[in-house]
Amino acid sequence: MNYRIASIPGDGIGVDVTIEARKVLDTAAAKYGFSLSWQEFDWSCERYAKSGSMMPDDGVEQLSEFDGILLGAVGFPGVPDHVSLWGLLIPLRRAFQQYVNLRPVRLLPGTTSALAGRTADELEMVIVRENSEGEYSAIGGRHNAGRPDEFVLQESVFTRVGVERIIRYAFELARSRSGHVTSATKSNGLIHSMPYWDEIFAEVAARYPDVPAQQCHVDALAARMVQAPDRIDVVVASNLFGDVLSDLAAAVTGGLGMAPSGNINPSGELPSMFEAVHGSAPDIAGQGIANPVAQILAAAMLLEHLGETVAAQAIRTSVDEVLTAGSARTPDLGGTATTTALGTVVAETLR
């Protein structure tokens, strides 16, 4: 079997960690008897600086024939974040109807949680983040510009189809892992969107009587994630809440360097896109010290999505082994290893 994979390393540490993920994927392909044909795209803030756009006009079309997309990170000082992200990442998520942003986190062996006293097998949760609408909207604008009564409006869009399908996805996932669902709400403060979200959550929950369901205000859920994360299994959240909760969940389970993410088109008719939860980390870019584990685990999610489940599991096992051995740790894990050293050890362990 041959898979066509598009690689968009992007900006900052996205470039460093994507090289390592690609190394591990190529090793997995050689070992498990499939092949990957890669095509690399230089879409980035650097491209923006040269040409005035993050990607070409037909960027979506160029990617549409691929079996999967591996994305580094987008965004770098010099280009405003809303310009770079709305010029690349967000349009791709929308064009390919990647309405599920799946963000599994678990405390990996040999690493330390921000929470004292938790061990690896106690902490495993998945954030199911709505990835195509909600608070991420271009509707709104500045009014009365330059006057004392100047203001901006930023609209949210919650469609019945959009809310229902993400909640259904969360229930299916929870059922498949004999787990339970927690919905992140804020219906005490947001009087239109979140009561609507809650209403649809209740409707969908009623169709899954075998799956325990609860809702929790997102502020209280943030506290629970720190104090009792073992009581959390699948979290379903809107675009913005899911974004914030996924960095928190990553921090709780060992740090941003370890959390992968899949932008999934569940129909499989359009490509899905895999990346780390973290960004381009300009503060450590170009130093060769970023932790590549998150991107390597995102690459494993890509294989899982393609149906190469044995190879995907082997990558996860190799990461676990390397972290347990502690032989190569990047500075965020308390070591002095480089990005390349950690990536190479994972690839060698896999081989």
Mark out the alpha helices in 145-238 (DSSP H runs): 160-176, 193-206, 218-227
211 or 237: CB nearest ligand IPM: 237
Q: What are phi and psi of 151, to 5 degrees?
A: -155, 160
Nearer to ligand IPM by Cβ, of 243 and 308: the residue is 243
210 vs 283 by CB, closer to ligand NAD = 283
User: Min. distance of Cβ 88 from ligand NAD in angstroms?
Assistant: 8
Give the integer Cα–Cα distance in Å for 18 and 14. Answer: 6
Chosen residue from 7, 132, 280, 349 binding ligand NAD by CB under 6 A: 280
Stretch that binds Mn ion, among 32-40, 137-145, 240-248, 335-343 (CB under 5 A): 240-248
Q: Which does 61 bind (CB under 5 to 8 A by kind): Mn ion, ligand NAD, ligand IPM, none?
A: none
Question: Binding to ligand NAD (CB under 6 A): which residues in 281-300?
Answer: 281-284, 290-291, 294
- For ligand NAD, the binding residues in 102-131 under the rule CB under 6 A are none
**Separation CA 282–CA 349 (nearest Å):** 30
Which tokens sit at 206? 């009623």
How many other C-beta atoms can be found within 10 angstroms of the C-beta atom of residue 207?
10
The torsion angles phi and psi of 44, rounded to 5 degrees, stand at: -175, 175
- Quote the least distance from Cβ 225 to ligand IPM, whole Å: 16
Residue choice 104, 254, 257, 343 for contact with ligand NAD (CB under 6 A): 257
Site pattern 59..98 for ligand NAD (x: CB under 6 A): --------------xxx-----x---x---x---------
Q: Are 338 and 20 in contact (CB under 8 A)?
A: no
How many of the chain's residues bind ligand NAD (CB under 6 A)?
Answer: 22
DSSP bridge partners of 187: none
Q: Does 332 bind Mn ion (CB under 5 A)?
A: no
Summary count for the chain: helices (H), strands (E): 12, 12
Tell me whether residue 293 or residue 347 sits nearer to ligand NAD (CB atom): 293
Largest CA distance in the chain: 66
Torsions phi, psi of 172, nearest 5? -60, -45
Q: Which does 60 bind (CB under 5 to 8 A by kind): ligand NAD, ligand IPM, Mn ion, none?
A: none
Considering only residues 155 to 174 of the shown chain, the ones binding ligand NAD according to CB under 6 A are: none
Residue from 16, 243, 275, 308 touching Mn ion (CB under 5 A): that is 243
Residue ranges in contact with ligand IPM by CB under 6 A? 75, 85, 89, 243, 277, 279
Distance, CA of 245 to CA of 279 (rounded, Å): 15
Task: Name the closest residue to Mn ion (Cβ).
Answer: 243
- Which of ligand NAD, Mn ion, ligand IPM, none binds 179 (CB below 5-8 Å, type-dependent)? none
Nearest of 220, 216, 225 to residue 198 by alpha carbon = 216
* H-helix or E-strand spanning residue 141: strand 140-143
Q: 125: part of which helix (H) or strand (E)?
A: strand 124-130
Q: Which amino acid is at 42?
A: D
What residue 280 binds from Mn ion, ligand IPM, ligand NAD, none (CB within 5 to 8 A, per partner kind)? ligand NAD
Nearer to ligand NAD, 40 or 230 (CB): 40
Buried b / exposed e over 265-287, threshold 16 CB at 10 Å, is bbeeeebbbbbbbbbbbeebbee
Could you list the residues that contact Mn ion (CB under 5 A)?
243
